[in-house]
Amino acid sequence: MAVDQQGRAVFSEIVRAMAADGGVIEAVVAAARNDSPEVASLPIAENRRHIAVIVAAALTAFADREGPRHEDFAAAAQLGADRAAQGIGLTELLRGVHAGRGQVIAMTMERSRAAGVPADLLLEVMLDFERYVGALERHVVSGYHAAELQLSRTARDTRTQLLRRLLLEELPREELGRIGLAANRTYFCLVSDVTDPAHAQTVERRIAYPDGVFGLVEGRLTGLMPRLPAPEQVTCDELVVVAPAVPLQEIPKVYSTCCAALAAASGRHGLHQLPDLAVETALATQPVLAGILARELLGVLDPADRYHRQLVSTALAYLTTGRRLDQTAVALHLHANTVRYRLSRLTAMTGWSPDQPRPGHLIALQPARDWWALTTWLSSS
């Protein structure tokens, strides 16, 4: 009996540690995305948002032997409701959920065996865990169906479904009027990084015009508007990309380009015009070439070396400020002489200088090429 209690204590500690382990969350997210294309179409932060809460809560509750809790089931139901609002099919949602469950169980068993938890005890507790996770899955399905039923009763969902068809498939001209769009007008296409349905409604109320249409498309708040939103309508914790106004027949291609620009602008905030992100968006489509260029320019440096990263970050800031020494110093909170010294050290180590044109290179394109190489190198570790 003492051995059994000791084994349970070891198992509880393993599960409790897993609940606080970010690597477990990332493994579950990866499993869900790998097994379900529709789930993978959502931004990874949106996958992580629900999975982190549910997995951590489930593991902690199970480690403490508390059994199912109301808040765990509420989080599971909210996952189902949000995926319904985002247009993810129930079959695809469950594929992702099952893959995530399998990943959690496999990791739990692997760590328990390594810690010496007896096989018979491990089988017993894992059967209990399976029942608990099964209950969570049922609440995911219940939340999905409840939201689906609610959405089917609203004109808003009809408009969202038609918007998705317009952007991702094809919407016949005669159906445009059902979502308030006119075939002879031009519209601005707007794509944001807002994925939480509740937050999306708040943002929509803030920036939408009566003759525009908004909805969650591929998990992100997306809209078509006859006029531009004002920059102050987008808060500092939101990223919004908006394209110039184009006819409706061009909107699907513009939408896909806006999505690419949104990914290229990751880490920024506020309202950004698509043309202003043209270079970053185009360059992001060539990761292999970016890696080759980074190695050619900075191959002697080590991305894991803090001092090397400091030198490259300084050079990147120098290029970003238009090669203005004074502005670089202000941006980095350094003395101008420190900036100058770091740039000279980088040149001495690599042979590259941001101020010297290289033979055989178009001078007009050199700053963009150098910026691309430095940015790629900094993101490589």
From first to last of the 381 residues of the chain, give the pLDDT tens digit.
455 677 778 888 888 888 788 888 888 888 888 988 888 888 888 888 777 777 777 777 666 655 556 666 788 888 888 888 888 888 888 888 888 888 888 888 888 888 888 888 888 877 777 777 778 888 888 888 888 777 766 767 778 888 998 998 887 777 777 778 888 889 999 999 998 888 988 898 888 777 789 999 988 999 999 888 888 889 888 999 999 999 999 999 999 999 999 988 888 899 999 999 998 898 888 888 888 989 989 989 999 899 999 999 999 999 989 899 999 999 999 999 999 999 999 999 999 988 887 766 667 778 888 888 898 899 876
Q: What is the pLDDT of residue 125?
A: 77
Beta pairing partners, 50: none
Of 152, 167, 196, the residue that ends a domain is 152
Q: Of 131, 152, 173, which closes a domain?
A: 152
Mean pLDDT in the chain? 85
| Residues 80, 206 within the same domain | no
Domain shared by 6 and 88, yes or no: yes
Q: How distant, in Å, are the alpha carbons of 40, 105, 120, 255, 320 from that of 127? A: 29, 10, 11, 47, 57
In Å, what is the CA distance from 50 to each residue of 15, 57, 148, 149? 19, 11, 18, 21
In a domain, 174, yes or no: no
Q: Which two tokens stand for residue 379?
A: 């993101």
- 293 lies in the same domain as 262: no
CA angle 282, 285, 286 (to 5 degrees): 105
Decide which of 283, 311, 326 is a domain's last residue: 283
Cα angle for residues 29, 34, 38 (degrees, 5° grid): 90
Give the C-alpha separation, 74 to 140, whole Å.
Answer: 9
- Within-domain flag for 10: yes
Q: Which residue has the tokens 């896909």?
A: 256
Q: Are residues 74 and 127 in the same domain?
A: yes
Per-state percent for the chain, helix, strand, coil, to nearest 5: 70, 5, 25
Task: Quote the domain boundaries for residue 36.
Answer: 2-152
Residues 297 and 277 in one domain: no
Q: Do residues 275 and 327 both lie within one domain?
A: no
Q: Is the domain of 197 the same as that of 273?
A: yes
Paired tokens of 175: 């159906």
Q: Is residue 176 part of a domain?
A: no
Amino acid residing at 175? E
Q: State the pLDDT at residue 1.
A: 44
Query: Is the same domain home to 322 and 374?
Result: yes
Euclidean distance between the first and final Cα of the chain, in Å? 49
Is 251 part of any domain? yes
Beta strand pairing call for 270-273 and 239-242: parallel
128 and 22 in a common domain: yes
Residue 223, φ and ψ in degrees, nearest 5 = -150, 160
Together in a domain, 332 and 256: no
Domain count, the chain: 3
Asked if residue 247 and residue 196 are part of one domain, the reply reads yes
Residue 320 lies in a domain: yes
Q: Is residue 160 part of a domain?
A: no
